[in-house]
Amino acid sequence: MPSSTAFTRRGFVTATAGVAGAIAATPLLSACGSSAANKGGVTTSKGLASILPDYVPLTNGPTPDIPIVTGKAGATSDPGFLSYPTNLVKTVSGTPGSGGSYSAIIPLWGTIPKAGNAYYTALNKALGTNLTVNPANGNNYGTTLPTLVAGNKLPDWINIPSWNNGQANTGELTTERFADLTPYLSGSNIRKYPNLAAIPTGGWQSAAWEDKIFGFPCWTSGNSFTGVLYYRGDVFSSKGINPGEVKNSDDLYALGAELTSKSAGVYAFDGLWYSIQQMFNAPPNGPGAFVIKGGKVISAYDTDEFAAALAFAYKIAKSGYMHPSAVAGDTNDGKQRFWSGKSLIEADGTGAWDLADDTSGKGANPSYVRSAFPIFAADGSTPTIPLGASSGMTSYLNKNLSKTQIEEILEVANYLAAPFGSYEYTMINYGIEGVDYTMTSSGPSYTKQGDNESNQAIYQQLVTPQSAVTNFGASDVTKGLCAWTGNAVKYAYKPTFWDMNITAPSQYQTAYSMAEVVDIVNQVTYGSKTVADFQTALANWKKSNGQKMLDWYTANVYDKYGDGS
Amino acid sequence: MSAISVRSGTATTETGPGGAPAPAKRKKARTRLPFRVRLRRDWPLLLMAVPAVLLVIAFNYLPMFGTVTAFEYYDYILGFWQSTWVGLQNFSDLFADPNFWHAFENTIVLSVIQLVLFFPVPIALALLLNSVLSSKIRSFVQAIVYLPHFFSWVLVIVLFQQMLGGAGLLNHLLLTHGMNAWNIMTDPGAFKYLVTAQSVWKEAGWGIIVFLAAIAAIDPALYEAAAADGANRWRRTWHITLPGMRGVIVLLLVLRLGNALNVGFEQFLIQRNAVGSGASEVLDTYSYYYGVAANNFGLGAAAGLFKGVVSLLLLYGANKVAHFFGEDGLYRGTR
Amino acid sequence: MSTALSFKAKPHKAPKRPVWEEKPTVVGQAAKGATLTVVVLLVVIPVYAVVLTSLSPQSSVNIAGGIVLVPHGLTLNAYREMLDGGVITRAMLISLAITVVGTAVSMVVSVLCAYGLSRPRSLGHRWILMALIATMFFSGGIIPSFIVVADLFNGYDQYWALILPGAVSAFNILIIRSFYMSTASELIEAAKLDGASEFRILWSVVLPTSKAVNAVMALFYAVGYWSAFFNVMLYMPADSSKWTLQYVLYTYVSQGATMPGQNSATAFAGKDQPAPLSLQMCVVVLTLIPILVIYPFVQKHFTKGMLTGAIKG
């Protein structure tokens, strides 16, 4: 997928709902006498630093048209490319594989392609392996993983999104079922695999558990932000509205009355929740999201900032300026509403701003332009934006694989990690020329077959190179997104437990999932429950098992390893 | 109809079959036959039952022992035997979890609503259909109303979505007539009635089959005599048809009460995303989502065991009530 | 058929109302007719609308603004798109295979068991019956079943896990058994006197005389296998190449997964693409077809198969 963050809307949104990252706490089992529980391991950031792979950016690739911007807290924007390079670089010589057969399972939010299609076959030929990737439904991947693990049918290679770490019990799996890749990848060992070495260090940090590297990072990014506040640029300019004048939440609210025209079925707002949280400086929240208060771990929900954000979301939902379908909680058709101009301002991930969006939007209205407000704070002060984990997903290898098999897979991974501008990247992302895509003056363009096969982000869920923003045929999209990110990284900060991998023991999983609270938070943002209902639910959660779980985090994570900063 | 056969099945085991010519005289002689003789005589019959017995042992009885996981912090890596034994900890976690009580409450409320709104429908339909004289019309209507029973829940819910959902027929009509849209499918408040409506749509037609049979078993001479006494249509229904169906109705009520905690599973699973867990969580989905999906198998197993035990108690209680009112209910103690 | 004939035939065919019963009132008849019509329409309209939408081109879906009630041209494009050998075709074949194999297994096991338990006072039949009936009232729940199937028997990701755990229905066995007990008892006695084996009796005496109950039970089992989706969700959600049609439909309907051709519908608009709604309804119809095909043949047996089995005994 040739866009900076190729998460789908849903994937991206959930991506930030889980703690991910890597100062590698212990697998953190309950004291149940398992062998895993005894493996404490020194888990300091120093310990991790000594094993992290070297970072060796590739030098022979194309130079980006829009360079990387480095902001605060190590946040970086992605490079932007406005045209497809004409002379593609070969980063891998020969075929990486030696004919081994491997199975892999990944989550997919798109259309599951036909098994054994032309694209798979061609890629397998290029890889020199018989790699069977089975895409499972991304939307219920979290309920799929526990059955897969409990059924004892782990494939050779599996993607586990960080937000599913609790359900999959990844912490315990790494010591019991997954292969330790540290000997192959730590320090200068990784230089044997130049494309892997070009993945920024943060990604490897996300793939580490207990001071060991266990997996390959997918979608590594120095700017995984949750919410971008989008507006219909074409409508704003035709109405003469200057988005630069929106400096705080009241300004935003005022736009509601100005833009809403119920008789025409046009509403100012769609779902804004993810941007509202940023405006009010609410910490990243949801299951497994915490902050430290008075030396204790508390739920990120349990903060004044979060309550203020929620109150504003409720106000928007009740204002009458939010599209009724959005109020009814229908998120599936949100993009459709935005494209057709039924709603004019919406919050979404950075992944929403891409070529496909531009094509679909222009299909509904030829003058369609997606634009984004630069981030601002609710009270007009200097804004902040929390960094998400460096990599939202990690793919792991089965412990049963032999050393030679692991080495073969490493070669395959090196091929799959080929960066933008390489011959291999084109193969992975576009497939076979003439079958899956055609080369046009502005770059490759998918055919219908390619749209169902090579455009589905399959192999990218195993390992992904440094992201690049590329939208050929829609340069404005690339420019807009790069400008927005380049600005946002300047206000980034690292939230509590950032890039730490933690799994709570299974008896806390129910409390961990916070199902009822999450549900009620959603309903408050739709206006069907009040902030008071939320407070009650949160109090109930703490009373049942929630507080116990928080105490466990204080004692076993915070007191031992700190907050990750 | 499930009730009848259950009862007949049980009754058969106790009183001997009605259909087969098994004269009581031979009874004594047979029971005295030594075990070996009986085995030599009956082994082919036993052999025939073996496959079913094996399957039932493997997939019904072994899981019953598997409920031991309810007393463990079950860890799939350590397995059944090595997981930590925690006694009643899962149950105390379960009873302290407001989500569990919420699921319990939802289950009971739904059960009551189904009892009130669903239960009478097949009875009324059966009476109505019985009063139709044309057998052609009758079998046509029967063929149509039985059909949804054979649809899967996924299918039924898609049909409802297309009719009542946000982009469905009803809302299309509402919007084109200038009214506000109402997405019933995602409205947590309406959910209880929505699922009951779905159950009625899917199962009420099929439900009439038992009642029609009960009506057919009533002696027509009774009606004639009543008519001769000047009883009109309504009075005949009230005094002859309904009493004739009484046994079946009570039996089904007993079963319904015994099944009060079984309000459906797939139906709720499918619609959970649309209405949220608040409205749609019932005991079975709780067991799945908090057990399997949240990787807290011990807790889920505890919820399942709790439900199984309470269901048994309910069944026992309902049957006692039936006896109290002089009905057979599901079973009678051995005579 | 000539009108005269049917008109003539009417008095003969007209249902007999007992002499003692009063004449129906016009109002009563009308109310009855109206109620029954509504009941029938409630079932028929959704099915009709879904089938029609699956056959409608994008233009009619646009005119209707959603589900189609009035046809404006018909097309099989949606079916072509979905049955081109992709996920749906595969799922359809898997579902059919599981249904056929599962029904065969269930019927063989159930018929054997029902007959084996149908002889009065045979050795141990009471105990076995009790054990069967007990399963109807108590179950260990989802999790112990999962652990037994997936962990103990290593059934995760295995097709048999979709068949064997639910292969035996105690309820169905009871119905078949009651039916067998109520029929052909003289014939059985006669065959026994001729020295026929139990298997022989089952095969050539009992089975031929109990077609109704066998047909109905086979339908019950088949529909059970065909309709199930949760077992896939539990035992093989990770391997999309093994999904059944119902599970695929579930992912489209409830999980918001995108269907083949759904993206292309917007990206390649105007190239004779079916509407996404038609694609979805096409999958729905595919799940319906086998039922609609078999149903009419078995439906006539319902009363006989179910009730003789159920009420006698």
Q: Go through the domains of chain C in sequence order and give each one's CATH number.
A: 21-75 (no CATH), 85-257 (1.10.3720.10)
> How many angstroms separate the CA of residue B133 from the nearest CA in chain C?
6
Collect all residues of chain B within an 8 Å Cβ-Cβ radius of residue A515: 99, 277, 289-290
ipTM of this complex:
0.85
Residues A296 and A158 in one domain: no
User: A-contacting residues of C 193-232, CB under 8 Å?
Assistant: none
Q: Over the stretch A194-209, which tens digit does the pLDDT of each residue have?
A: 999 999 988 898 888 8
Residues of B in contact with A36 (CB under 8 A): 77
Amino acid at A558: Y
Shared domain for A331 and A421, answered yes or no, is: no
B188 vs A: CB within 8 A: yes
Across the interface, do C240 and A147 touch by the CB < 8 Å criterion? no
**Tokens (6 digits) for C3:** 């009108």
Which residue out of A503, A544, A545, A552 would a mutagenesis test of the B interface target, given it has the greatest number of B Cβ atoms within 10 Å? A544
DSSP for residue C238: S
Q: Is C158 on the interface with A (CB under 8 A)?
A: no
* Residue where a domain terminates, one of A447, A467, A493: A493
Q: How confident is the model at residue A335 (pLDDT cuts 50, 70, 90)?
A: confident
Please report which residue ranges of chain C form alpha helices under DSSP H. 3-13, 26-54, 58-64, 77-82, 87-116, 125-137, 142-146, 170-182, 185-193, 198-201, 207-209, 211-227, 230-235, 245-253, 262-267, 276-299, 309-311
Q: Nearest-CA neighbor of A271 among A319, A311, A313, A225?
A: A313
Is the model's pLDDT at A510 over the cut of 60? yes
Residue ending a domain, choose from A448, A463, A493? A493
The predicted structure's pLDDT at residue C256: 63
Cross-strand bridge partners of residue A81: A470
- The minimum CA-CA distance between B99 and chain A, rounded to whole Å, is 7
Given C150, C156, C264, which is nearest A452 (Cβ)? C264
A148, closest residue in chain C (CA to CA) = C238
**Higher pLDDT among residues A32 and B176, named by residue:** B176
**Are the Cβ atoms of B169 and C166 closer than 8 angstroms?**
no
Picking from B69, B74, B76 by the largest number of A CB atoms within 10 A of its own CB, the best residue to mutate is B76
Say if B67 is an interface residue toward chain A (CB within 8 Å).
no
Instruction: List chain B residues with CB under 8 Å of C313.
Output: 5, 8-9, 11-12, 17-19
Using 50, 70 and 90 to split pLDDT, how confident is the model at C124? confident
Q: Does pTM surpass 0.90? A: no
Q: How many Cβ atoms sit within 10 Å of the Cβ of residue A488?
A: 23
Min Cα separation C282/chain B (Å): 12
In this structure, are A368 and A243 located in the same domain? yes
**Residues on A contacting B at a C-beta cutoff of 8 Å:** 30, 32-34, 36, 142-143, 146-147, 149-150, 152, 166-169, 172-173, 176-177, 324-325, 328-330, 333, 505-507, 509-510, 512-513, 515-516, 519-520, 522-523, 528, 540-541, 543-545
Q: Does a structural domain hold residue A33?
A: no
- Which of B84, B102, B296 shows the shortest C-beta gap to A509? B296
C86 token code pair: 């992709």
CB contact under 8 A, A140 and C262: no
For residue A367, is it within any domain? yes
pLDDT in tens, A30-71: 333 333 332 223 244 556 778 889 999 888 888 899 999 999
**A278 in a domain, yes or no?**
yes
Question: What residues in A contact C260, CB-CB < 8 Å?
Answer: 111-112, 452
pLDDT tier for residue C4 given thresholds of 50, 70 and 90 = very low
* Structural domain count of chain A: 2
In a domain, A486, yes or no: yes
The dihedral over CA atoms of A144, A148, A150, A156, expressed in degrees to the nearest 10, equals -150
Distance (Å, rounded) from C-alpha B280 to C-alpha B191?
Answer: 7
Task: Determine, for residues C227 and B152 on separate chains, whether the beta-carbon distance falls below 8 Å.
Answer: yes
B209/C66 touch (CB, cutoff 8 Å), yes or no: no
Locate A538 and state its tokens: 């949160």
**φ, ψ for residue C301 (rounded to 5)?**
-85, -10
- For residues A520 and A524, give the distance between their C-alpha atoms in angstroms, rounded to a whole number: 6
Where do runs of H (alpha helix) occur along C65-210? 77-82, 87-116, 125-137, 142-146, 170-182, 185-193, 198-201, 207-209
The pLDDT-based confidence of A4 (bands split at 50, 70, 90) is very low
Element (H, E) at A550: helix A547-553
Give the confidence band of A120 by pLDDT, cuts at 50, 70, 90.
very high
Q: At which of A493, A518, A551 does a domain end? A: A493
Which pLDDT value is given to residue A127? 95
8 Å CB contact of B278 and A506: no
Mean pLDDT confidence for C82-99: 88
Q: Is residue A28 one of the residues assigned to a domain?
A: no
Does the distance separating the beta carbons of B102 and A505 come in below 8 Å? no
Q: What is the CATH number of the domain that holds A513?
A: 3.40.190.10
Q: Quick count: other Cβ atoms within 10 Å of Cβ B149?
A: 16
For chain C, positions 142-181, list CB contacts with chain B under 8 A. Answer: 142-149, 151-153, 164-168, 170-171, 173-175, 177-178, 181
Chain A hits for B183, Cβ within 8 Å: 325, 328, 330
Structural domain includes residue A414: yes
Q: How confident is the model at residue A241 (pLDDT cuts 50, 70, 90)?
A: very high
Same domain for A441 and A551: no
Question: CB–CB of A522 and B276 under 8 A?
Answer: yes
For helices B205-216 and B120-130, angle between their N-to-C axes, nearest 10 degrees: 60
C310, B8 Cβ separation under 8 angstroms: yes
Instruction: Determine, yes or no, domain membership for A41.
Output: no
A537/A430 same-domain check: no
Q: Which domain holds residue A540?
A: 228-386+504-561
- At C187 the pLDDT is 80
Whole-number pLDDT of residue C260: 64
Q: How many CB pairs under 8 A join A and B?
A: 115
Nearest chain A residue to C232 by CA distance is A144
Closest Cβ opposite residue C178 in set B9, B292, B308 = B9
Report percent pLDDT > 70 for chain C.
Answer: 84
pLDDT computed for residue B296 by the predictor: 85
Whether B206 has a pLDDT exceeding 90, the answer reads: no
Among A residues 2-31, those touching chain C with beta carbons less than 8 Å apart: 10
User: What percent of chain A lies above the pLDDT cut of 70?
Assistant: 91
Of the ranges A178-192, A448-462, C67-81, the best mean pLDDT one: A178-192
- My answer on whether A129 and A268 are in the same domain is no
C63 touches B at CB < 8 Å: no
Closest approach of B324 to chain C, Cα-based (Å): 22
Q: Would you say residue B308 has pLDDT above 80?
A: yes
Nearest to C133 among B9, B67, B307 (CB): B9
Q: Are residues A511 and A376 located together in one domain of the fold? A: yes
Average pLDDT estimate for C169-179: 88
| Domains of chain B with CATH codes | 22-69 (no CATH), 98-324 (1.10.3720.10)
**Bridge-based pairing state of the strands A228-232 and A343-348:** antiparallel
The verdict on a CB contact (< 8 Å) between B294 and A520 is no
Query: Residues A403, A486: one domain?
Result: yes
DSSP 8-class letter at A494: P
Residue B93: its chain A contacts at CB < 8 A? Answer: 507, 510, 545
Do A115 and A257 fall within a single domain? no
CB–CB contact B183 A169 (8 Å): no
- Whether the CB-CB separation of A144 and A136 falls below 8 Å is answered with yes
A403 and A371: one domain?
A: no
Q: Tell me what pLDDT residue C178 has.
A: 84
> Mean pLDDT in chain A?
85
A443-491 pLDDT, tens per residue?
888 888 888 888 888 999 999 998 889 888 889 999 999 999 999 999 9
- Which residues in chain B are contacts of C126 at CB distance < 8 A? 13
| Closest CA in chain B for residue C200 | B44
* Cβ <8 Å between A452 and C260: yes
pLDDT bin (cut points 50, 70, 90) of residue A254 is very high
Report d(CA A221, CA A16) in Å as an integer: 13
| Same structural domain, A69 and A98 | yes
Q: Please check whether residues A161 and A308 belong to one and the same domain.
A: no
Which residues are CB-neighbours of C305 under 8 A, at least 6 positions away? C179, C212, C213, C214, C215, C216, C217
Chain B residue nearest residue A329, CA to CA: B186
* Inter-chain touch B96–A544, beta carbons under 8 Å: yes
C39 and B CB contact within 8 Å:
yes
One-letter-per-residue 3-state SS of A437-474: EEEECCEEEECHHHHHCCCCCCHHHCCCCCCCEECCCC
Which residue has 């409508």 as its token pair?
Answer: A235
Residue A36 belongs to some domain of the structure: no
